[in-house]
Amino acid sequence: MTPIKHYPPKPQKVYFYGTCLIDVFYPGAGLDAIRLLEREGIEVIFPDDQTCCGQPAYTSGYHDEARRVALAQLALFPEPWPVVVPSGSCGGMLRVHYPTLLADTPQVDAAQDVAARTFELTEFLLNVCHVKLSDLGEPEQVAMHTSCSARREMGLGDTAPALLNQLGQVELVEQVRTTECCGFGGTFAVRHPEVSGAMVEDKVDAIEATGARHFVTSDCGCLMNINGNAEHRQKAVQGEHIASYLWRRTS
Amino acid sequence: MSVQTYSPREFHRQAHDALGNPQIRANFRRAMDGLMDKRGDAFSDWDVETLRELGANIRLRALAKLPDLLEQLEANCEANGIKVHWATDGDEACEIVSDICARHEAKSVIKGKSMVTEEMHLNAHLEAAGIEALESDLGEYLVQLNEQTPSHIIMPAIHLNTDEISDILHEKTGTERTRNVDTMTAAARAQLRERFMAADVGISGVNFAVAETGTLCLVENEGNGRMTTTVPPVHVAVTGIEKVVEHLRDVPPLYSLLTRSATGQHVTTYFNMINAPRQAGEFDGPKEVHLVLVDNGRSNIYQDDELLDTLRCIRCGACMNHCPVYTRVGGHAYGTTYPGPIGSILMPHLIGLEETQDLPSASSLCGACGEVCPVKIPIPDLLVRLRKEAVGEGRGNVPGAGVKRNKKELAAWKSWQWAATHPGVWRSGLTMASKLRALMPAKLAPWTDYRTLPQPAKTSLHTLVKRHHAKRGQE
Amino acid sequence: MSARDIILNHLRTRTDGAIPVPESDFSVMTGRGWDHDERLARFEQLITSVHAEVVHAQRSSWTQALAAILHDKGIKRLALGHEHPVACEARTGLAEAGVELVDPAREIERWQREQFERVDAGLTSTGGAIAETGSLWLWPTPDEPRRLSLVPSIHIAVLDSEAIDETFFDVIEAHGWARAMPTNALLVSGPSKTADIEQTLAYGVHGPKELVVIVRHGAD
Label residue A5 exposed, middle or buried (CB < 10 Å: 0-12, 13-18, 19+). Answer: exposed
Q: Which of C188, C81, C185, C180 is nearest to C139 (CA)?
A: C185
Percent of chain B with pLDDT over 70: 99
Q: Which of B328, B327, B346 is nearest to B336 (CA)?
A: B346
**Residue of C119, C146, C186 to mutate, interface with B, max B Cβ within 10 Å:** C146
Per-residue pLDDT, B341: 98
Q: In A, residues 57-86, which contact B (CB 8 Å cutoff)?
A: 57-66, 68-69, 72
Please answer yes or no on whether B67 and C11 come within 8 Å at the CB atom: yes
Rounded to a whole number, what is the distance in Å from the CA of C27 to chain B's nearest CA? 10
Per-residue pLDDT, B147: 92
Give tens-digit pLDDT for B178-206. 999 999 999 999 999 999 999 999 999 99
B19 φ, ψ (degrees, to nearest 5)? -65, -30
Q: In B, residues 445-474, which contact C (CB 8 Å cutoff)?
A: none
Do A20 and A56 form a contact (C-beta atoms < 8 A)?
no
Residue C173 lies in a domain: yes
Give tens-digit pLDDT for B103-141. 999 999 999 999 999 999 999 999 999 999 999 999 999
Q: Indicate the residue among B299, B324, B347 that finishes a domain.
A: B299
Per-residue pLDDT, B2: 56
Residue B246 lies in a domain: yes
Per-residue pLDDT, A66: 98
Classify strands A214-217 and B208-210 as parallel, antiparallel or unpaired: unpaired
Per-residue pLDDT, C104: 96
The residue ranges of every structural domain in chain A are 13-127, 140-250
CATH architecture of A140-250: 3-Layer(aba) Sandwich (3.40)
Residue B166 lies in a domain: yes
- Within 8 A of C108 by CB-CB distance, chain B residues are 283-284
What ipTM is given for this predicted complex? 0.97
For B221, nearest residue in chain C (alpha carbons): C193
Task: Count the domains in chain B.
Answer: 2
pLDDT score of A179 more than 90:
yes
Nearest-angstrom CA–CA distance, B320 and B373: 10
Residue C15 lies in a domain: no
Residue C151 lies in a domain: yes
Do residues B148 and B292 both lie within one domain?
A: yes
Give tens-digit pLDDT for A13-30. 999 999 999 999 999 999
Residue B459 lies in a domain: yes
Please answer yes or no on whether B34 and C199 come within 8 Å at the CB atom: yes
Domain membership of residue C124 as a residue range: 36-193+201-217
**Residue of A2, A19, A25, A203 to mutate, interface with B, max B Cβ within 10 Å:** A25
Per-residue pLDDT, C155: 98
B121 touching C (Cβ < 8 Å): no
Per-residue pLDDT, B3: 65
CATH number, position C153? 3.40.50.10420
The partner residues of B234 in beta bridges, in order of sequence, read: B201, B288
Residue C12 lies in a domain: no
For C115, nearest residue in chain B (alpha carbons): B197
- The rounded mean pLDDT for chain B is 95
Residue B205 lies in a domain: yes
Residue C6 lies in a domain: no
pLDDT score of B51 more than 50:
yes
**Residue of A42, A101, A156, A192 to mutate, interface with B, max B Cβ within 10 Å:** A192
CATH number, position B291? 3.40.50.10420
**Residue of B325, B328, B364 to mutate, interface with A, max A Cβ within 10 Å:** B364
Give tens-digit pLDDT for C122-148. 999 999 999 999 999 999 999 999 999
pLDDT score of A3 more than 70:
no
3-state secondary structure string across chain C: CCHHHHHHHHHHCCCCCCCCCCCCCCHHHCCCCCCHHHHHHHHHHHHHHCCCEEEEEEHHHHHHHHHHHHHHCCCCEEECCCCCHHHHHHHHHCCCCCCEEECCCCCHHHCHHHHHHHCCEEEEECCEEECCCCEEEECCCCCCCHHHHCCCCEEEEEEEHHHEECCHHHHHHHCCHHHCCCCEEEEECCCCEECCCCCCCEECCCCCCEEEEEEEECCC
The partner residues of A140 in beta bridges, in order of sequence, read: A170
Cα A195 to chain centroid, rounded: 23
Per-residue pLDDT, A1: 47
Residue C179 lies in a domain: yes
Per-residue pLDDT, B1: 45
Give tens-digit pLDDT for C52-90. 999 999 999 999 999 999 999 999 999 999 999 999 999
Cα B191 to chain centroid, rounded: 29
- The rounded mean pLDDT for chain A is 96
Over residues A181-189, the mean pLDDT reads 95
For B63, nearest residue in chain C (alpha carbons): C19
Task: Determine C/B contact with 3+ CB pairs under 8 A as the test.
Answer: yes
- Within 8 A of B192 by CB-CB distance, chain C residues are 206
Nearest-angstrom CA–CA distance, B424 and B282: 84
Per-residue pLDDT, B54: 97
- Within 8 A of C11 by CB-CB distance, chain B residues are 66-67, 70, 299, 302
Residue B251 lies in a domain: yes
- Within 8 A of C188 by CB-CB distance, chain B residues are 269-270
Do C17 and C104 form a contact (C-beta atoms < 8 A)?
no
Q: Which of A226, A241, A250 is nearest to A121 (CA)?
A: A241
B395 φ, ψ (degrees, to nearest 5)? -85, -10
The closest CB to that of B420, out of A59, A63, A69, belongs to A69
Per-residue pLDDT, A2: 53
Do C148 and C106 form a contact (C-beta atoms < 8 A)?
no
The closest CB to that of A22, out of B414, B451, B461, belongs to B461
B285 touching C (Cβ < 8 Å): yes
pLDDT score of A70 more than 60:
yes
pTM comes to 0.96
Domain membership of residue B446 as a residue range: 418-474
User: Residue A185: left (phi > 0), alpha (psi -120 to 50), or beta?
Assistant: left
Task: Count the domains in chain C.
Answer: 1
Q: In B, residues 384-413, which contact C (CB 8 Å cutoff)?
A: 397
Over residues C207-215, the mean pLDDT reads 97
- Within 8 A of B419 by CB-CB distance, chain A residues are 51
